[in-house]
Amino acid sequence: MKVKDRIAVVTGAASGIGLATAETLAEAGARVIIADIAKDKGEAAASSIQKKGQRAEYVHLDITNDTSITAFTEAIQAKNGAVDIIVNGAGWGQIKPFWEMPFDVWDKIVVLNLVGPMKLVKALLPKMMERNSGKIVNVGSDAGRVGSSGETVYAGAKGGLIAFTKSLAREVARYNINVNCVCPGPTETPLLFAVPEKHLESFKRAIPFRRFGKPQEVADAILFFASSRSDYITGQVLSVNGGLTMVG
């Protein structure tokens, strides 16, 4: 898939799906910018990719902080100009009944999963529009497509990200920019393994393949949307979930 020499920003790239995506894009020839709040893990991820003879660098980003988004954008555009690929991979949630979820946790979930990604895209988009090309891949969740008990606020934020994907795709198609969304089901990441064991077993029983997804399997779908193979695809949502949900 053609991403050779493309400049790719991947948020949440220090671990989990974001890390697998950064590694996959770098292996496919992209110059990857690892954007994450976790400095040590981000630098380690970049170093690991570099040791393979591939291109990556870590640039600090707190997707929940406007000042950080501005500084990040200015730094990478001063060095690289317009980016070619944006992968909004940063995300976080917490399983708890809706009525027990504190407002401050609501705020963190919504900013991290929806508002922050929108602000980052807004900051990077003008130069993509000037150049008349680009790929934006938002990492949503099946929770945002069909709902998820105990994740109501998270599902609402991811549902918003899906709607943002579709609406932005319509607005920027005239600039030859593709905007798509990948929605993982339960995937082997630190976020999943923070869930109590009894919930994990019920999740697994509900999946037709009877196993959790691997970060690499989600990264492969992201690579498709980031590459030239998807040039005539925009505003679409692809679930990677082992058949857990089958949305028409």
Closest listed residue to residue 89, CA positions, set 123, 61, 129: 61
pTM for this predicted structure: 0.93
Check residue 33 and give its pLDDT. Answer: 98
CB 173 within 8 A of CB 180: no
> What are the pLDDT digits (tens) for 138-197?
999 998 888 887 789 999 999 999 999 999 999 999 999 999 999 998 888 777 666 667
Q: Which residues contact 8 (CB under 8 A, 6 or more apart)?
A: 22, 25, 30, 31, 32, 33, 83, 84, 85, 86, 87, 226
In this prediction, residue 200 has a pLDDT band, given cuts at 50, 70 and 90, of: confident
Check 58, 154, 175, 232 and give the catalytic one: 154
CATH of domain 7-240: 3.40.50.720
pLDDT beyond 90 at 74: yes
The fraction of the chain above a pLDDT of 90, given in percent, is 75
In this prediction, residue 242 has a pLDDT band, given cuts at 50, 70 and 90, of: confident
Average pLDDT for 117-129? 97
In this prediction, residue 95 has a pLDDT band, given cuts at 50, 70 and 90, of: confident
pLDDT beyond 90 at 199: no
In this prediction, residue 67 has a pLDDT band, given cuts at 50, 70 and 90, of: very high
Domain boundaries in the chain? 7-240
pLDDT beyond 80 at 247: no
Check residue 211 and give its pLDDT. Answer: 87
Check residue 93 and give its pLDDT. Answer: 82
pLDDT beyond 70 at 90: yes
Average pLDDT for 62-79? 96
Check residue 192 and give its pLDDT. Answer: 67
Check residue 126 and give its pLDDT. Answer: 97
Check residue 248 and give its pLDDT. Answer: 66
58 an active-site residue?
no
